[in-house]
Amino acid sequence: MSAAEWRKAMNAGAGRYAWTGGARGRIAARPVDRPSPRPSPLRGEGEVATAWTQWVWRRVGARHVLVLLAVLVYPWVATPFFTFQIGAQSLALGLIALSLTFLAGYGGMVSLAQMTVAGIAGYMFAIFATSGTDISLRWPWGLAVVLALVIATACGTLIGWFSVRTEGIYTIMITLAIGVAFYYLAQQNYSLFNGFQGFQSVMTPAVAGVELRAPLVFYYLSLFWALAGYFFVAYLLRAPFGVALQGIRDNPRRMSALGFNVTAHRVAAYTVAGLIAAVGGVLMVWYNGLVSPGSVGTSWLINILIIAVLGGMRHPVGPFIGAVVFVLLQNFAVDLVGRERFNLLIGGVFLVIVLFSPDGLLGWWAQGRQYLEKQLAPARAGGWRRGRRGQERSTTAAPGPH
């Protein structure tokens, strides 16, 4: 087996059902057809095709281009409200949920403290930069961002160090408890976190006279970081680190026997996830213009989990899909069931997804696509197809008496 084929085998179906716990966790074990990479037309005798263009041609399909075009063009067709509140918020929340998908889907560790890390980044930015509270140090925003990311990633690593001593369910419990502890700390401490009020009027920076909080600018900023996060995670998953992580998810004992330091890999995964969540956290504090204990409370910790599960943990695009659905429901539930029953609606949707499609919306999409492909693609040229009409024959059947 070549290295490329080995990697393909390792990554096929990555994240699928793995996080539900065990081989018995498959309710609909229908193998999902991954489109095989197309043969590259650039490869011919004497032609030099670079590895990169081959990689692009193999992987990038029409749907990728369409989605990319759609998100790039989106702000020009949507209202500022939709660009800012729906679009940018989904991207920022999706980024935080991406860190959870990375940890849970590919690392097998469901950590409910990702929003805590994002909240720490937000708080640190508010403390170091300018806000309406006296505690803020009013340092230059670039420095504040760097400090916020560093501190939040360090906290993420620390949370990881606590949590890697546990496995599976324990991790959920412990990260939830850590998240709640930080919530109470932020609520009670007035010298650093300004307690219950939190930091209001956090000033979003302006670069070269352009306000970063203007809907269009902020949307593209969030889009940039969301794409960066997405490609970074996608790359990391194919790199040795990501592959080893998935191996650790599937069988830590075997990986340890092979010589991998399982604990170090896991903590490193928390660090990476912490960095991604920290970027999302800074975006969220710019989006909200404030950070308070409510931003890191139990409901937000669970909301990130809901977003990640809703979208599907099988692919890095899942959390962004989940975030879009979540934000749309949050804003427009009032037209469906009345805003005060929003929790019932989101809880119900979450329950339905977990019961019937643990792979989230992506799982349903994949099943739907498979079903449609079967219906829409009749007999293929050059192959047998036995169906109810057993008379169909291949056109290249061996010659002989009929």
Partner 1 sequence: MSPFWRWFWVLVVGLPAVAFTVWGLADNAKLFLSTALNGLTLAALYFLVASGFTLVFGLMRNVNLAHGSLYLLGAYVGYEVGEQTGSWLVAVAAGFASAALFGLVLQVAVFRFMHGEDMRQTMVTIGLSIMMADILLWMFGGEIYQFDPPRVIFGRTPLPIVEVYPTYRLVLLAMSAAIGVLLWWFLNRTRVGMMIRAGVDDRGMLAASGVNVQFVFAVTFAIGAGLAGFAGVVGGTALSIAPGEDTRYQLASLVVVIVGGMGSVVGAAIGAILIGVAEQFGLAYAPTYSVVFTFVIMALVLAFRPQGILGRRA
Partner 2 sequence: MKSLKMRLLWTAVVAALLAVVVAGGATAQAPVVKIGLLATLEGPFAAGGQDGMRGAELAVKQRGGMVAGKKIEIIKASSDAKPDVAVNATRKLVEQDKVDIMVGPLSGSEGIAVKNYSKTQPNTTFINGSSGAQATTLVDPSPNFFRFNTEGAQWMVGLGDYAYKTKGYKKMALIAEDYAFPYSQVQGFMTEYCKAGGRVTHKAWVPLGAKDYSSVIAKLPGDVDALVVVLGGADAVNFLTQYEQAGGNKPMVGGSITVDQTVLNFKGKRRESLLGTPSAGPIADSYDAPEWKKFVADYKENFKDGFPSPSLFAFVYYINMKAALDGLEAVKGDLSGGQAKYREALKTLKLKTPTGEVTLDENRQAIGTTFVTEVAKAADGGFYNKVVKVVPNVNQRLGMSKADFEKAGLGSRDVPNCP
Asked if 188 interacts with partner 1 (CB under 8 A), we say: yes
Among 142, 298, 372, 396, binds partner 2 (CB under 8 A): 372
Decide: 86 and 328 in contact? Cβ < 8 Å.
yes
β-pair partners for 199? 291
Contact criterion met (CB below 8 Å) for 387 and 380: no
**Are the CB atoms for 16 and 29 separated by under 8 Å?**
no
DSSP type of residue 291? B
Residue 19 in contact with partner 1, rule: CB under 8 A: yes
Under a CB-based contact definition with an 8 Å cutoff, are residues 87 and 217 in contact? no
Residue 297 binds to partner 2 (criterion: CB under 8 A): yes
Minimal distance in Å, beta carbon 180 to partner 1?
A: 6
Report what 143 binds from partner 1, partner 2, none; CB cut-off 5-8 Å by kind: none
State the binding partner of 330 from partner 2, partner 1, none, CB within 5 to 8 A by kind: partner 2
Minimum CB distance to partner 2 smaller for 67 or for 258: 67
Task: Give the span between the Cα atoms of 359 and 338, in whole angstroms.
Answer: 28
Among 190, 231, 235, 384, binds partner 2 (CB under 8 A): 190
Does position 196 interact with partner 2 (CB under 8 A)? The reply is yes
201 binds partner 2 (CB under 8 A): yes
The reply to whether 347 sits near partner 1 by the rule CB under 8 A is yes
Among 13-21, 34-42, 214-222, 224-232, the segment contacting partner 1 (CB under 8 A): 13-21
Residue 294 interacting partner from partner 2, partner 1, none (CB closer than 5 to 8 Å by kind): partner 2
Q: What is the greatest pairwise CA distance in the chain?
A: 94
**DSSP letters spanning 331-358:** HHHHHHT-GGGHHHHHHHHHHHHHHH-T
Residue recorded with tokens 């990555």: 14
Judged by CB under 8 A, the residue of 14, 18, 86, 361 near partner 2 is 86
The region, left, alpha or beta by phi > 0 then psi within -120 to 50, assigned to residue 207 is beta
Q: Can you tell me the distance from the alpha carbon of 144 to that of 148, in angstroms, rounded to the nearest whole number? A: 6
Using rule CB under 8 A, residue 25 touches partner 1 = yes
Nearer to partner 1, 60 or 351 (CB): 351
Q: Binding string to partner 2 for residues 31 to 60, with x set by CB under 8 A, is what?
A: ----x--x----------------------
Q: How far apart are CA 42 and CA 53, in angstroms?
A: 9
Q: Which residue lies nearer to partner 2 by CB, 127 or 233?
A: 127
118 part of the interface to partner 1, by CB under 8 A: no
Q: Which amino acid is at 259?
A: G
Nearest approach in angstroms of CB 50 to partner 2 is 24
Note whether 13 binds partner 1 by CB under 8 A: no
Q: Specify whether the CB–CB gap between 237 and 246 falls below 8 A.
A: yes
**Residues composing the chain:** 402
Count of residues of this chain found to bind partner 2 when the rule CB under 8 A is applied: 51
Show Cβ contacts of residue 313 under 8 Å, excluding neighbours closer than 6 positions. Answer: 15, 19, 101, 104, 105, 359, 360
Q: Interface residues with partner 2 (CB under 8 A)?
A: 35, 38, 61-63, 66-67, 70, 74, 77-82, 84-86, 89, 132, 184, 187-188, 190, 195-198, 200-201, 288-290, 292, 294-295, 297, 299, 330-332, 334, 339-340, 342-343, 369, 372-373, 376-377
